[in-house]
Amino acid sequence: MPHDVIMPALGMAQDTGLIVAWLKQPGDAVKAGEGLMEVETDKATMEVEAQVDGFLSGVAAAAGEHVPIGQVVAVIADTEDAAVTVEPAAPEPQVEDARPAPSERAAPAETPREPTPQAAPVAAAGDGRILASPKARRLAREQGLDLGHLARSGARPPYHVADLEVLRAVPATAPAAAAATRIEAQAPRAQFDELLEFIAAETGAAAEPGRVFAAFAAAALREATGRETELRVGIETAGTTAPARLVDPDRISLAATCEAGPDGPADLIVRDLTGSAITAMRRDGENAVVIQIADAGAHLAIALEGALAATEAVALVNAFAGRISEPLRHLL
Amino acid sequence: MAEITLAKAVNQAIAEEMRRDETIFLIGEDVAEAGTPFKVLSGLVEEFGPERIIDTPISEPGFVGIAVGAAMTGSRPIVDLMFGDFLFLVMDQLCNQAAKTHYMSGGKLTVPMVLRTNLGATRRSAAQHSQSLHTLVAHIPGLKVALPSSAYEAKGLMKTAIRDDNPVVIFEDKLMYNDKAEVPDTEYLIEFGRAEIVRPGRDITLIGTSSMVQVALGAAETLAREGISAEVIDPRTIVPLDEDTILDSVRRTSRAIVIDEGHRSYGVTAEIASRIGEKAFYHLDAPVQRMGAMDVPVPFSPALEDLTVPTAEQVAERARLCVRGEVFDAA
């Protein structure tokens, strides 16, 4: 959550503050307590400190400018990527003779700070748009390169054609991937099969188990990791070559049919081996978390493999197996 | 080939055409005995006489109106407007009459008139004699607009303008009258709507008009020493505009700066930059940049006046930022 930097009231009878100098440049990393800017009031020059950790962006007032107190002069973004795209909030309209006390002004800016835990995982790029020149974007598309890799590698946007050279050299894996974890489990399949029959009866078409697995897996991953952002799930079925893609399968109707989704790497791959003799398969170079489901008599065999912390992996498999054995848990 | 000044090139072009075609006459203030304040027309009255080189009282609307009428009725007048700043006085004659007569007469009348005038600051002539107002007439359909950047262009474009059956406005840079360039001994014309690639390059396209062609070349020279290869393009006429040459270049280089001595806002640079944005968008690796005169009345103070016009060093610096991918929030 971006944090607004406001012009503080430093004097008793003060309407504006003069920004003498910025001590940080847009895009610079800042820590809470570090000096951001020097402000001159009618009496003295003081340093204004950052209230939170992050990256300085959205600088809306330059050195030498007088800024009304309470006005947003910059934003501290959570990520370096976001630092480029975050726009400062529009300045509040000036109201003559009715200036609220500084504490009231500051209040709204304080609120978003609270839910930010100290060790929140930094989501790569988040919902921030990747900034790239039109030509770089076109060439990346033509050459099948993913500009998202550049963002995740820490390269600073906007990206130009020259950055595509760097992109070709960036390994496809996210940096510092956690060690791979492998877990196998089994879940009774009776209720799951009933669910498939129910869907088939409701829609008049045979249910796709892979589609339902994808929804369960996405929901289980969110439950295990607390992830809220968009999830791209790849669905592979034994015997078919073209994998399908779904975005947020857990947030759309289970009966919705599987369509080819957007290109790009998947966060999670669901490999549906049911109805085939194969019980497990492994492919080198897979970076996403993979959940495989295979027939095992009255049970479904579940295998998870991927770069997840062991606790998260266990929570994910438990949540997934729980949904298989009691689909109502998913629907509720 | 002979090396002559831009003033001499204009003089030669007019004299050659007047010898060729008796319907051509020249009219304006101080054009005969004085040969204009810039001495561009010296010697013409001696050769062609006061019947064809006509001095007028100080009344721009009057003599431009006379020329428009003469052009409609069979003559081919060349009007000398002493300063481009005086365009404001002749807007109706030029934009409502000359530009629209062919259209409004259903093609029965033509206005084969040339209005030659000038542009350019840094001559210490103050705010009312230093403007570059070509964008005003470029906006009006029915007028062609030529911007010679050297003696060679000045002669070839002037001869083409005189032979054109439409009204043409030619702006000469008043600081370049004494600049010399190689001009062929034999007759030549320069077709309108054909840009010149003055210097080929790979990394960035500098589109300069009139006086700014030299500025762009200076920047390209500086950049070349730093390993940046800049292509310099001179559109030569902004109406008609040779869009293809400009777009081809930008598609190769992926970057462009448009430089023109008119004011930065709402000008020629805006027009060319937006055409690049519209038609070469997916080839751009940097935002198209515009450089022009500051949006202020041209100051009389020499120190201040020099600050208002783009310099080769400023163009080079902007080009460096484009090539390094550092233009993110340029003003």
pLDDT at A109 over 60: no
pLDDT, one tens digit per residue, over B275-305 is: 999 999 999 999 999 999 999 999 999 999 9
Task: Note the ipTM here.
Answer: 0.80
Q: Does B82 or B38 have the greater pLDDT score?
A: B82
pLDDT category at A107 given cuts 50, 70, 90 is very low
Q: Does B239 or A15 have the greater pLDDT score?
A: B239
Q: The tokens 């075609």 sit on which residue?
A: B21
| A163 neighbourhood in chain B, CB within 8 Å | 325
Q: What is B87-142 written as a DSSP string? A: GGGGHIIIIIIITTHHHHTTTS-----EEEEEE---SS--TTS----HHHHHTSTT
Residue A172's pLDDT is what? 55
Strand partners, B28: B55, B80
Query: What residue spans define the domains of chain B?
Result: 2-183, 196-323
pLDDT, one tens digit per residue, over A318-330 is: 889 999 998 887 7
Contact (CB, 8 A) for A95 and A70: no
pLDDT, one tens digit per residue, over A255-274 is: 666 565 556 677 888 888 88
Q: Structural domains in chain A?
A: 3-113 (2.40.50.100), 134-169 (no CATH), 181-331 (3.30.559.10)
Q: Which CATH superfamily is domain B2-183 in?
A: Thiamin diphosphate (ThDP)-binding fold, Pyr/PP domains (3.40.50.970)
Interface of B with A in 119-148 (CB under 8 A): none
Residue A106's pLDDT is what? 39
Q: What's the gap in Å between the CA of A108 and the closest CA on chain B? A: 29
pLDDT at B66 over 50: yes
pLDDT at B167 over 90: yes
pLDDT category at B213 given cuts 50, 70, 90 is very high
A33's tokens: 């307590």
Q: Is the pTM of this model over 0.80?
A: no
Contact (CB, 8 A) for B4 and B156: no
List of E strands, A248-298: 268-272, 289-296
Among the partner residues B282, B286, B328, nearest to A138 by beta-carbon distance:
B282
**Mean pLDDT of the region A165-175:** 67
C-alpha pair distances (Å), A170 with each of A256, A263, B258:
36, 19, 36
Interface of B with A in 277-296 (CB under 8 A): 281-286
Residue A179's pLDDT is what? 61
Q: What's the gap in Å between the CA of A105 and the closest CA on chain B? A: 30
**Mean pLDDT of the region A166-186:** 68
| A132 neighbourhood in chain B, CB within 8 Å | none
Most confident of A76-90, A158-172, B30-44, B99-113: B99-113
pLDDT category at A280 given cuts 50, 70, 90 is confident
pLDDT category at A121 given cuts 50, 70, 90 is very low
- Among A82, A89, A90, smallest CA distance to A29 is for A82
Domains B2-183 and B196-323 share a fold: yes
Contact (CB, 8 A) for A19 and A48: no
What percent of chain A has pLDDT above 90?
Answer: 7
**Mean pLDDT of the region A124-150:** 80
Do the strands B256-263 and B168-173 form a parallel or antiparallel pair, or are they unpaired?
unpaired
**Are B286 and A133 inside 8 Å of each other by CB?**
yes
**Mean pLDDT of the region B127-141:** 97
pLDDT at B231 over 60: yes
| A58 neighbourhood in chain B, CB within 8 Å | none
B129 carries an active-site annotation: yes
Pick one of 1.20.1050.10, 3.40.50.920, 3.40.640.10, 3.30.980.10 as the CATH number of B196-323.
Answer: 3.40.50.920
**Mean pLDDT of the region A27-46:** 81
Residue A154's pLDDT is what? 76
Do the strands A54-57 and A72-77 form a parallel or antiparallel pair, or are they unpaired?
antiparallel
B60 carries an active-site annotation: yes
